[in-house]
Amino acid sequence: MLKCVVVGGGTAGWLSALYAQKHIPYSDVTVIASSEIGILGAGEGTTPQIISFLKEIDISVGDVIKHAKGTFKNGIRFVNWNGDGKEYIHGFWDHCGSSTKLDFDNIVPLYTECMANDKNCDEVSLSHYLCNENKVKIKKETNEEYGWYALHFDANLLAKYLESVALSRGIKLIDDEVLTINNNGTGNIKSFDLKSGLNVEADFVFDCTGFKRLIIGKHYNTKWNSYKDTLPVNRAMPFFIEHDDTNIPPYTDAIAMKYGWVWKIPVQGRYGCGYVFDSSMVTDEEIVEELTEYLGYKPTIPRVFSFEAGTYDKVWVKNCVAVGLSAGFIEPLEATSIWVSINILKNVVSKASDLIAQNSDAVAVCNETMRDFNDDVLSFLYFHYMTKRDDSKFWKTFTTKNKIPALIVKLMDISKKSFPKTYDFTYLLRAIGNRKLTPFNHISYYLVGSGIRFYNKQLAQGELESYRSIHTIDRPKFLETITTISKDMYYHDDYIRMLKND
């Protein structure tokens, strides 16, 4: 049996344990987690990759709705990022389905038409329509999934539910704290000495110790790749807002403030919120004052935590892989943390034979893949901040004070000369490292770019004329199709109620 030891509970720890048990042959999985230490419990938003990952470990969406106050997420609504009070949706992939399938060939021309008219792309986005109507991408009667969606949940409740599932499947839990990490002659971890006096042997280790970064960081002293020169937000102030479970929005709000932004995530019974800001420009007291003015009352702040945007250069070292916050953290925008964890687990666990043998090539490929992935997330997150807002030093100096990622520099160069086409984004990836895949494709860059008014209106008009010369852009038919699709979708509240009662 391969002794797999997961150090740390929380969402990352229990997902790692369940995934390892399911996909590593002959594995014996033990989780070491201290109930006295607890978990951060701040991450309550996800990306669509969570849906298929849960299915892989035999956990249904309905389970998350029932046991973790889950809700659905069609995308993120960005509020006032240009300082004009307006909003835009970065929706998840809409363009799939069956009998009423949206005409994908029309999407990019329609987006281009919106930008040629100096508008965002909301009016041709199914996600936007469904968000406005508080509907999910699930068709009534047939339960057909019409596009990608993600989930919100209470992170503490999800961790407790995953723990209960893991224990029911034979995964062992030791409620204890690691005191000493023991290596063998090759530098691999051979065992852990615990506070209680127990010694736990390990063949492979998942470091899920969160911001403590006990193993990859402190034990192996792995090189840290800091992103703080690009993304300066470094402190978060969480708070909650109660709601009565009616008209629950199927999206996350990202609300631009003077020194950063506020996340507002709907779960059943409340919104989980938090102000993410640059602490070099403002004090905690000033943030509370701004929140009080915005909300109309002084919020209760249970805790405040600091972080540095960045990741470890290697997430897989010897016989240990870091998953979750222990591997790094960029920032909450776009809720990519669990997505990064999923990618790490898939990269490592899919190489089960290499995992046991510690094949150096497999380890190198995994680490390189995750470096590229994180760098591309960094680029896309930076892109959101290239707005027209200028009401504070934070916004006035963002693009001059902070280092611009190489991908964005090249995108800016392309966009000065012509409206960027689909193949331009493929070129961007190759130009910065011959990469074939990216977390966020051209559709995401169009949606966010149109929202922040990044693209040149005149260049978009020229591109639109080129489309019209070779392609019929049937906007009325497209909008009619969106309306038809929307009518057949479940209301968010109704679908949550149905899953809870199932």
- Domain count along the chain: 1
Residue 42, pLDDT above cutoff 90: no
The CATH code of the domain that includes 201 is 3.50.50.60
For residue 109, which phi and psi values (nearest 5 degrees)?
A: -60, -40
3-class state of residue 139 by DSSP: strand
pLDDT tens sequence across 195-248: 999 999 999 999 999 999 999 999 999 999 999 999 999 999 999 999 999 999
Q: 231 with 403: CB under 8 angstroms?
A: no
Residue 197 lies in a domain: yes
Bin 88: left if φ > 0, else alpha if -120 < ψ < 50, else beta: beta
Q: What pTM value is reported for the model?
A: 0.95
Tokens 């960005």: give the residue. 78
pLDDT tens sequence across 305-352: 999 999 999 999 999 999 999 999 999 999 999 999 999 999 888 766
pLDDT > 90: what percent of the chain?
81
**CA dist., res. 136 & res. 241, Å (int):** 22
Residue 97, pLDDT above cutoff 70: no
Lowest mean pLDDT among 125-134, 202-211, 268-277, 431-440: 431-440
Residue 304 lies in a domain: no
For residue 288, which amino acid is it?
V
Task: Give the tokens for residue 415.
Answer: 């966009």
For residue 461, which amino acid is it?
Q
**CA dist., res. 486 & res. 126, Å (int):** 8
Domain carrying residue 10: 2-44+154-225+311-371
Residue 330 lies in a domain: yes
The strand ranges marked E within 297-362 are: 305-306, 310-312, 316-317, 320-322, 328-329
Residue 331 lies in a domain: yes
Residue 352 lies in a domain: yes
3-class state of residue 162 by DSSP: helix
**CA dist., res. 155 & res. 45, Å (int):** 9
pLDDT grade for 422, boundaries at 50, 70 and 90: confident
